[in-house]
Amino acid sequence: MEQVSTLFEPIALFFYVFGIIGLLILRYSPSLWFRALTVLILLGYFAFASPLGANLIVGAVEIREPDPPDCVSRKPRVVVILAGGITDSSAIRNQLARLKEESYRRLIDGITWAREINADRVLITGGSGRDNGGRSEASLMAQLAMQMGYPREKLLLDEVAMNTFSSSGTVSRMLGEMQVDTVWMVTSATHMRRARASYEKRGLTICAYPVNSKRVPIDMPYALVPQLSALSKSTDAYREVMGYIYYAMTERL
């Protein structure tokens, strides 16, 4: 029933209406350029809003698999977890509830991996949230880690970094003081490519441990119907591509 309901969501209904208008334009418009533009808009909308198209876009951006072949011999003993965002809403009473889903997923999977490899330290980086008098992402994620039973003495916090680039700087300095140059990096699969390149620019060797892949199994024919969740995933991937290009142009990679 849930799959059938996607056929009648507003984003799908808009596609149907626009598709009909597009067919009329292709049939009756005398302008070749206008017809070509209509086709491009329809294809672009389908690519970004359908689960099939979103899967292809996300798949091209994500790094989905960890790097154990490159890292078994190195055996890095430090796990770096990148925060995934925080809301600045003052209406939220419980501070932990301010963490966005990405932060939760990265933290939970990162701590689970740290336990599995018996890491010496877990370094959590993320300074957003302090500008309005609240607690930082890193602080809240550390609290969640301790509630999961992870020892406080194994946690290190970077509460200064406000983005991926500044995180690579503060974390590399902290690791330099520890004489560590190889670490496991835990972040979302879509973010991993840019984050790893930014950290490697600082001279670190990164063993990728991507989490929260946004690719989903394709269920035809519903994968051809535009859905809001698909548009959200492809938009996230698009932002990462734009972020990667910006970092490359500003020599941050």
pLDDT on residue 65: 73
Q: Does residue 104 sit in the same domain as residue 183?
A: yes
Q: Does residue 39 sit in the same domain as residue 158?
A: no
- Whether pLDDT at 153 is above 60: yes
97-113 confidence digits (pLDDT tens): 888 999 999 999 999 99
pLDDT on residue 90: 63
User: What mean pLDDT comes out for the span 8-30?
Assistant: 84
pLDDT on residue 67: 66
- Whether pLDDT at 251 is above 80: yes
Q: Does residue 94 sit in the same domain as residue 164?
A: yes
Q: Does residue 73 sit in the same domain as residue 157?
A: yes
Q: Does residue 146 sit in the same domain as residue 86?
A: yes
- Whether pLDDT at 42 is above 70: yes
| Number of domains observed in the structure of the chain | 2
Q: Does residue 54 sit in the same domain as residue 72?
A: no
CATH number, domain containing residue 156:
3.40.50.620
Q: How confident is the model at residue 68 (pLDDT cuts 50, 70, 90)?
A: low
Q: Does residue 206 sit in the same domain as residue 230?
A: no
Q: Does residue 109 sit in the same domain as residue 183?
A: yes
Q: Does residue 206 sit in the same domain as residue 232?
A: no
**SS3 track for the chain:** CHHHHHHHCHHHHHHHHHHHHHHHHHHHCCCHHHHHHHHHHHHHHHHHHCHHHHHHHHHHHCCCCCCHHHHCCCCCCEEEEECCCECCCCCCCCHHHHECHHHHHHHHHHHHHHHHHCCCEEEEECCCCCCCCCCCHHHHHHHHHHHCCCCHHHEEEECCCCCHHHHHHHHHHHHHHCCCCEEEEEEECCCHHHHHHHHHCCCCEEEEEEECCCCCCCCCCHHHCCCHHHHHHHHHHHHHHHHHHHHHHCCCC
**Among 59-73, 149-163, 212-226, 229-243, which is the least confidently predicted range?**
59-73
Higher-scoring residue by pLDDT: 222, 176: 176
pLDDT on residue 2: 58
- Determine contact, residues 240/216, Cβ cutoff 8 Å: no
Higher-scoring residue by pLDDT: 239, 71: 239
pLDDT on residue 86: 87
pLDDT on residue 210: 93
Amino acid at site 165: F
Q: Does residue 107 sit in the same domain as residue 147?
A: yes
Most confident stretch, 127-131, 134-138, 217-221 = 134-138
User: What mean pLDDT comes out for the span 146-170?
Assistant: 93
**Among 52-56, 96-100, 237-241, which is the least confidently predicted range?**
96-100
Mean pLDDT (the chain, rounded): 87
Q: Does residue 199 sit in the same domain as residue 75?
A: yes
- Whether pLDDT at 4 is above 80: no
User: What mean pLDDT comes out for the span 168-178?
Assistant: 92
Q: Does residue 72 sit in the same domain as residue 56?
A: no
Q: Which domain holds residue 13?
A: 2-62+220-249
The pTM of the full predicted model, rounded to 2 decimals, is 0.87
User: What mean pLDDT comes out for the span 16-37?
Assistant: 86
User: What mean pLDDT comes out for the span 152-169?
Assistant: 92
